[in-house]
């Protein structure tokens, strides 16, 4: 595995997304930019949340659009209505001659595992989940727990009731990273904070389920609720607006979904990670395996809190910056599951 560092710093504008000319790709990195002058074709399959989910899929689509605009790639985007659409959609894009086919989301992993071996000359990108040990698949992974720690720390500082909530899409190891980091950050900010038992919608799309879950958490005292539920999580924000509590957005900057009611958003820069991956293809630097994007590299972080900055106050924002610096330096080791969370809590002074 490789951890990418500094990709969202000064070189951010240089990140690019693309795919190779039909029938010309290879599955291992090569020196030079053999594909630089070729018209490349990228196919991207969205999960059931769709490219307009204002969250995870939307971020991936921004990366694809940036690729098309800045590198002149042909981009084909396909939405999925149900999970059984994933494999046929991936296969259809490979059949169309896409040099790179991207599967957006952890629920796409099994379908990629089925389809990729049948197209050895096509590069595949799996976003989230455990790496696929295949010579033509790159997996993009993120340290979601680090960004979640930051929003949890802010929530801990800002809560008036001393109770916080969390709504997840599905109870998966991936979502456990969000939850563990969030709880740990809150506890570091305030030892007596209570994070109520998490609620899961078992769905990435149904906003009504997430709204009901958030309202239940709020009725139990939570005045800030963080969601990691994809499109469904927009229901958490809707509940925050209706019931006058704070939501915390995820993946994309969701602060403007309900201005003033979204305390901050945990940004997961899928767009730039995808953009960088496809630049590697164009420059002949493709390599299969896993690439990890963390807080240090800018792969995760927080929104600018443009609607809540005054409410939060400069002092708390400075404290949040200090915590970020400690994570980046390695002084704070952020937990990512139940075992590491328990160890973290045991070590709190």
- Tens of pLDDT, residues 200-252: 999 999 999 999 999 999 999 999 999 999 999 999 999 999 999 999 999 99
Tell me, yes or no, whether 42 and 131 share the same domain. yes
What's phi and psi for 77, nearest 5 deg?
A: -105, 135
Tell me, yes or no, whether 222 and 325 share the same domain. yes
Contact 40, 18 (CB under 8 A): yes
Tell me, yes or no, whether 283 and 246 share the same domain. no
Tell me, yes or no, whether 129 and 42 share the same domain. yes
Number of domains in the chain: 2
Tell me, yes or no, whether 70 and 161 share the same domain. no
What's phi and psi for 264, nearest 5 deg?
A: -165, 175
Tell me, yes or no, whether 209 and 309 share the same domain. yes
Answering whether pTM is above 0.85, one says yes
Q: 197: which 2 tokens?
A: 């038992």
Count of residues for the chain? 349
Tell me, yes or no, whether 172 and 81 share the same domain. no
Tell me, yes or no, whether 281 and 134 share the same domain. yes
Per-residue pLDDT for the chain (349 aa), expressed as one digit of tens each? Answer: 555 544 443 333 322 333 333 222 333 333 334 455 668 999 999 999 999 998 999 999 999 999 999 978 899 999 999 999 999 999 999 999 999 999 999 999 999 999 999 999 999 999 998 999 999 999 999 999 999 999 999 999 999 999 999 999 999 999 999 999 999 999 999 999 999 999 999 999 999 999 999 999 999 999 999 999 999 999 999 999 999 999 999 999 999 999 999 999 999 999 999 999 999 999 999 999 999 999 999 999 999 999 999 999 999 999 999 999 999 999 999 999 999 999 999 999 7
Q: Which domain, by its residues, includes 223? A: 144-267+300-347
Tell me, yes or no, whether 233 and 335 share the same domain. yes
Distance CA 303, CA 323 (A): 15
Distance CA 195, CA 156 (A): 10
Could you tell me the strand order of the sheet in which 137-142 lies? 2-4, 289-293, 137-142, 123-127, 100-104, 41-45, 74-78
């Amino acid at each position: 595995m490789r951890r990418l560092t500094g990709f969202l710093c000064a070189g951010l504008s240089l990140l690019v997304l693309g795919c190779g000319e039909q029938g010309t790709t290879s599955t291992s990195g090569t020196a030079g930019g053999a594909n630089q002058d070729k018209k490349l074709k990228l196919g991207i399959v969205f999960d059931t949340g769709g490219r307009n989910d204002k969250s995870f899929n939307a971020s991936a689509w921004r990366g694809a659009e940036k690729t098309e605009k800045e590198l002149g790639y042909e981009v084909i985007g396909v939405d999925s209505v149900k999970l059984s659409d994933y494999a046929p959609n991936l296969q259809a894009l490979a059949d169309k001659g896409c040099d790179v086919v991207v599967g957006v989301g952890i629920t796409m992993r099994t379908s990629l595992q089925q389809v990729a071996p049948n197209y050895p000359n096509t590069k595949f990108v799996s976003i989230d989940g455990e790496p696929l040990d295949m010579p033509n698949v790159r997996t993009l992974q993120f340290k979601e727990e680090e960004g979640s720690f930051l929003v949890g720390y802010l929530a801990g500082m800002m809560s008036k009731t001393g109770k916080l909530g969390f709504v997840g899409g599905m109870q998966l190891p991936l979502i456990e990273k969000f939850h563990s980091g969030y709880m740990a950050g809150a506890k570091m900010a305030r030892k007596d904070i209570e994070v109520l038992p998490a609620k899961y919608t078992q769905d990435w799309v149904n906003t009504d389920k997430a709204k009901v879950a958030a309202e239940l958490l709020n009725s139990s005292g939570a005045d800030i609720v963080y969601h990691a539920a994809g499109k469904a999580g927009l229901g958490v924000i809707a509940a925050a607006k209706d019931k006058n509590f704070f939501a915390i957005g995820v993946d994309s900057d969701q602060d403007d979904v309900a201005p003033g009611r979204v305390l901050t958003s945990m940004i997961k820069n899928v767009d730039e990670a995808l953009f960088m991956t496809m630049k590697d293809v164009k420059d002949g630097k493709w390599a299969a395996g896993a690439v990890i994007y963390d807080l240090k590299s800018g792969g995760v972080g927080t929104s600018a809190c443009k609607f809540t900055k005054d409410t939060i106050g400069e002092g708390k924002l400075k404290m949040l910056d200090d915590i970020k610096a400690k994570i980046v330096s390695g002084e704070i080791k952020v937990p990512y599951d139940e075992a590491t969370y328990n160890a973290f809590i045991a070590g709190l002074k």
